[in-house]
Structure 1
């Protein structure tokens, strides 16, 4: 079986096992540019049907992508690196629809792929065909360090990947008479998810030819995504300015998977990192290539430092900031559609919300969709068609799905001037609403003006040793104590990162989260008398302290507790918190991971504070943690 198939079926960890018994030759860059013609089959025309939609939902109509297209493949030389010292070639495919001509030029779309994939992956091919069928010229490419493209993996760094993307626009789109131009140059939109989403906003901040971006399941600040800290630093106006925290809680499982997958690319004929290092002539890179074959050395050093100490040094923070949208948002002024998965433990809803709120604060046109899926084996639900779940879909299928249609409407609005494509500012998937069974799942999406709605939120007060009391009830002063074990083990279990989703590993999907006795405190509300739709980002204010004089580390979680007593961790989400030793003793404000969830009548909400989690780098020194309850210790559940 080809290695590329192993990657798609087994995921990063299974791939490493497969590679142990696989010998793969080193990649060779062909200097020959190939041209391949292909004809896209037109979608079968259907008449739009009038469908009953739930109140407050976002109704979208079925589309009809009928344009044929041809494809042109080419290896394109680019110069990248901090000084332009890296010379590589990128593997590209250009989709040219039949309606694009010198007389009728069409807008262009630029797209790359998720981590470990290529331009030929399902997510890219499905999206490119769909957009070409709707008349867009689509340029897809394999990012540096993967597939038939040269170079090393650089995490969508502005110093590398953004430079490469700009040169692809220069060389493949700018000269074409069949691509729409104006006074600013070629008219380009961008789309992509995960790794393919991470570079879009840094590119838009630097290239005025980019007019709009559709950004899927990706990061706001990579420092937060890989080394998260959900503590709200004083002065943070949104509670989501994650870069204000110097240290976080290293997301060990997820990061280790990506680190391993990136370093195995050369063994899978992916990229040309070792050869590129030799070509640049950097003796340090050449000497370290054996232990860091897929990345440049500073990234490997960052990983080694975090793995060994749990702390990020200043050089690592600066390096990762160069690959973070948050660093460049002040220069982004193009309309942005954000699409983020509710079950995503790699890039959670807080990532997208941080971007949404900052752009909205600056009056940049922005909208956000919280869909059902996410990284780790969560395939989108029927009628959604999230492009990044690994499923190859036809144009006809995507013409009838909510997420693909919302993206198309957005692009049409901002690139073609088609009215009505902005949609609601905020929409979110409601798993408690039944899908009609055909067409877009729009009835399952609720809408709101913004993700924050304080008037609909409920603030509970921590009471006694284990209760949450509702507004208007008198809390009891008290405390709850739990311990952090020496070495941070044994640890609570919430998921096996990348392998707990039902499409990734059905057996692991059935393994429930579990807490370690003595290592957590739990506070539970009274039963809800009527349904409570919690949509947004929960928050807490805790009077919490520890005894060992070091940084205080804990994980905050929200559970749904059924009348039977069975407790379910909502989307397996956790919010790591790290309080600097100098700030311990002061009230701690924090944001939990966002979600959209209905608490049914008779169900209760439970706030759990745990000292450990198997996914993360836990505090290694034994500790005793105390939470004081009563007035001043609160938990806020957002509502719509």
Structure 2
């Protein structure tokens, strides 16, 4: 396999920022063409270098529009640059492109005419290059200097102000990654402040703080005040060296002072026509504190640029100001501890639909995604990544590459090299940098989008966030076709340079127009999901919409045995059909030998389960298509006398297994693992039945195909058990072995 340099670095800003998608002097093929640390650095060397505006459109923007423009992605934590894994036969003709720093920007939408003068497509907005000083961050009261670009559409000024957007980069990117978004939304009448996140600019003394509330959220909150005209937030124009105070953004506190009408935003759930006391058409309590320097403002962005929106909302809520009017986060996490070390057998309420993916147990470490997260270019391809399966190499790697992070991040990575799993202290630290830990403080109307093609932040994370937010704010959930593992939207699904022209773009813009601008009908809360088997009919037909999640009804299959050694067991629909049998496998190594993907870099290889390392149970050939939307659940009683003893020593001796669902073709040999998604588990007590939540999917099992469920002892993308673990599963009348599938 030939691996380009794009996947690991912020090299992907080509779609939005005018930065080439391949290193200078490189052919853009093997990464060995250029191993410059400056090119791959997670800390941008592009400080104060705004996108070019001397041509009718920046060169990258013109190319972006011409090729169908969607986005690109710099580093895995900022939506994916991975290869396009869509099958042409099922997805239609797709243009493969490198991905850039923000899938996030993918959320632009439908046009609203006549609100403010729109900039001509031939006259791009010239950004103003700023350095904004934010102060008092975190318990150490840190001061940071933020690199930002301010995009003000033509015709917008103090006499004709406009609503605003605050956006930032995905992990490893910088402010220029949102240039396309700013131009596209600028034509819809939005001022945009795009800034480089804390810790991502060379010369910045502030570390990367993982989108926490105390640092990142507090910094973004001060930028909301800046957009509201607060002169105490110091911003310097890098060209003129003059102070900048924003007066081109609609201020809601100014409107209240002039008219006596308040913001009309209870808990951030409704815009409405306020009466000066915060009683609007939205639900929620009155706002107790009328904030000063309160702009009409929303946020949107993805991955790292998505989580910051929750942190900002929480920071505002803690201070009782609630300046943020609406958010559109995409492909982001609910609990970072679950993202990097998932445990799918001990979810609260047995399912993410209960509102959490946070387990009290210890998960299974995604060493490949974690390496990509910290490396940002120290890895040149598949071989480099797979070499980190060696604990000694992993330890040396983390010592070499874990720079400019908070010490807890590096400590967590180092301890995994020694013990094979994260400690409870590390789990608590990662969780504290997640919306799961402060969900009750997020009361802002939220349009949440999550990628079906995403092995980093899976659909369960969006379900947990959505379920929790439904109790306290207006929220809609979208399961889009693309994510970190496959970054190419379907034709017509998303285009940031023309947000009014795409299916999801229109939804995002309608959301912002209502909750931020205060115009247009209130969007109905919905759950929508993309069906790739209808891709050729366009996104309007491919997307199904309903009022809420979950959807459909459960269909049960029972695990049945066989008398033939090493043969598949069966999935039967009637418990009376269950046959007695024993299926056995053994986990033989901390990593592998089973293969599902090389995270972020390659999903083209076949899925493999070497003999003796997995057990499989398959249904009869389906007589009609079966559409699955959501997370199947597998309840099993496993037997392992050896693990029953070793588990007394804690996580190191507990059973590690990997559950997955296969679609087996009519030939009985072709195997599809939908989006290469699996569910790792670390079972606390192997002597008791366990319920495993399988990955959330949207998948059609065609007539003539078979549904199969697999339990494996290893996976090459994860660090599993350090000791051999022989496991058996016994079937027969009265057994608890059952697969439940959500079918629409």
**TM over 0.5: same fold?**
yes
Corresponding residue of 1:261 = 376
Q: Secondary structure at the match of 2:516?
A: helix
Q: CA deviation at 1:412?
A: 1.0
Indicate if the aligned counterparts of 2:347 and 2:358 stay in contact, CA closer than 8 A: no
Corresponding residue of 1:606 = 708
Q: Secondary structure at the match of 1:206?
A: helix
Q: CA deviation at 1:615?
A: 0.3
Q: Deviations over 1:65-120 (max 9, x none)?
A: 77114421101122355324433211101111235333443221111111111111
Corresponding residue of 1:139 = 193
- Note the aligned Cα RMSD (angstroms): 3.5
Q: Deviations over 1:519-549 (max 9, x none)?
A: 1010111122111111111111111232323
Corresponding residue of 2:182 = 128
Corresponding residue of 2:251 = 181
Indicate if the aligned counterparts of 2:591 and 2:719 stay in contact, CA closer than 8 A: no
1 CA distance for matches of 2:48 and 2:460? 45
Counterparts in 2 of 1:145-160, with a 5 A limit? 145-147=199-201, 150=204, 151-160=206-215
Indicate if the aligned counterparts of 1:428 and 1:446 stay in contact, CA closer than 8 A: yes
Indicate if the aligned counterparts of 1:224 and 1:243 stay in contact, CA closer than 8 A: yes
Q: Secondary structure at the match of 2:672?
A: strand
Corresponding residue of 1:426 = 527
Counterparts in 2 of 1:445-594, with a 5 A limit? 445-453=543-551, 456-465=553-562, 466-471=569-574, 474-485=577-588, 487-488=589-590, 490-500=592-602, 509-548=603-642, 549=646, 550-565=653-668, 566-580=670-684, 583-594=685-696
Cα 1:543–1:156 shift into 2, 3 Å: same
Q: CA deviation at 1:23?
A: 9.4
2 CA distance for matches of 1:521 and 1:70? 60
Q: Secondary structure at the match of 2:373?
A: helix
Counterparts in 2 of 1:276-425, with a 5 A limit? 292-360=402-470, 362-385=471-494, 394-395=497-498, 398-420=499-521, 422-423=523-524, 425=526
Indicate if the aligned counterparts of 1:99 and 1:135 stay in contact, CA closer than 8 A: no
Find the partner of 1:162 among 217, 221, 232: 217
2 CA distance for matches of 1:239 and 1:32? 45
Q: Secondary structure at the match of 1:609?
A: strand
2 CA distance for matches of 1:325 and 1:87? 24
Q: CA deviation at 1:17?
A: 8.2
1 CA distance for matches of 2:502 and 2:44? 40
Specify every segment of 5 or more residues in structure 1 that has no aligned partner in the other structure, as ranges: 45-59, 265-287, 387-392, 501-508
Corresponding residue of 2:329 = 215
Corresponding residue of 2:168 = 112
Cα 1:306–1:443 shift into 2, 3 Å: same
Indicate if the aligned counterparts of 2:40 and 2:376 stay in contact, CA closer than 8 A: no
Find the partner of 1:98 among 144, 154, 158: 154
Indicate if the aligned counterparts of 1:232 and 1:239 stay in contact, CA closer than 8 A: no
Indicate if the aligned counterparts of 1:107 and 1:188 stay in contact, CA closer than 8 A: yes
Q: Deviations over 1:582-612 (max 9, x none)?
A: x221111121110101111111110011110
User: Are 1:232 and 2:346 counterparts?
Assistant: yes
User: Are 1:63 and 2:172 counterparts?
Assistant: no
Q: CA deviation at 1:341?
A: 1.0
Q: Secondary structure at the match of 1:638?
A: strand
Find the partner of 2:35 among 7, 19, 32: 19
Q: CA deviation at 1:617?
A: 0.5
Q: CA deviation at 1:436?
A: 4.0
Indicate if the aligned counterparts of 2:331 and 2:449 stay in contact, CA closer than 8 A: yes
2 CA distance for matches of 1:24 and 1:477? 56
Q: Deviations over 1:22-64 (max 9, x none)?
A: 79999999999999988987999xxxxxxxxxxxxxxx99636
User: Are 1:632 and 2:632 counterparts?
Assistant: no
Cα 1:448–1:479 shift into 2, 3 Å: farther
Cα 1:383–1:132 shift into 2, 3 Å: same
Q: Secondary structure at the match of 2:501?
A: coil
Indicate if the aligned counterparts of 1:198 and 1:324 stay in contact, CA closer than 8 A: yes
Indicate if the aligned counterparts of 1:37 and 1:72 stay in contact, CA closer than 8 A: no
Q: Secondary structure at the match of 2:224?
A: helix
2 CA distance for matches of 1:303 and 1:14? 28
1 CA distance for matches of 2:608 and 2:44? 48
Q: Secondary structure at the match of 2:596?
A: coil
2 CA distance for matches of 1:137 and 1:61? 15
Q: Deviations over 1:459-497 (max 9, x none)?
A: 111111411111475322433111011x33551110111
User: Are 1:204 and 2:313 counterparts?
Assistant: yes
User: Are 1:250 and 2:332 counterparts?
Assistant: no
Aligned length: 576
My pick for the range that moved more, 459-468 or 191-200, is 459-468
Indicate if the aligned counterparts of 1:72 and 1:94 stay in contact, CA closer than 8 A: yes
Runs of 4+ in structure 1 displaced over 6 angstroms?
A: 10-17, 21-44, 288-291
Indicate if the aligned counterparts of 2:11 and 2:40 stay in contact, CA closer than 8 A: no
Cα 1:80–1:67 shift into 2, 3 Å: same
Q: CA deviation at 1:626?
A: 1.7
1 CA distance for matches of 2:608 and 2:315? 46
Q: Secondary structure at the match of 2:217?
A: helix
1 CA distance for matches of 2:12 and 2:126? 29
Cα 1:84–1:34 shift into 2, 3 Å: farther
My pick for the range that moved more, 540-549 or 401-410, is 540-549
Q: CA deviation at 1:181?
A: 2.1
TM-score, normalised with respect to structure 2:
0.71
Q: CA deviation at 1:217?
A: 0.7
Indicate if the aligned counterparts of 2:350 and 2:693 stay in contact, CA closer than 8 A: no
1 CA distance for matches of 2:51 and 2:657? 55
Q: Deviations over 1:532-570 (max 9, x none)?
A: 111111111111232323211101111111111121111
2 CA distance for matches of 1:140 and 1:106? 16
Corresponding residue of 2:70 = none
Indicate if the aligned counterparts of 2:110 and 2:509 stay in contact, CA closer than 8 A: no
Indicate if the aligned counterparts of 1:220 and 1:351 stay in contact, CA closer than 8 A: yes
Specify every segment of 5 or more residues in structure 2 that has no aligned partner in the other structure, as ranges: 14-20, 63-107, 120-124, 231-245, 254-290, 317-321, 380-397, 563-568, 647-652
Cα 1:382–1:399 shift into 2, 3 Å: same
Indicate if the aligned counterparts of 1:35 and 1:74 stay in contact, CA closer than 8 A: no
Corresponding residue of 1:283 = none
Q: Secondary structure at the match of 2:447?
A: strand
1 CA distance for matches of 2:738 and 2:168? 43
Indicate if the aligned counterparts of 1:252 and 1:307 stay in contact, CA closer than 8 A: no
2 CA distance for matches of 1:132 and 1:233? 43
1 CA distance for matches of 2:46 and 2:450? 37
Q: CA deviation at 1:331?
A: 1.2
2 CA distance for matches of 1:547 and 1:598? 39
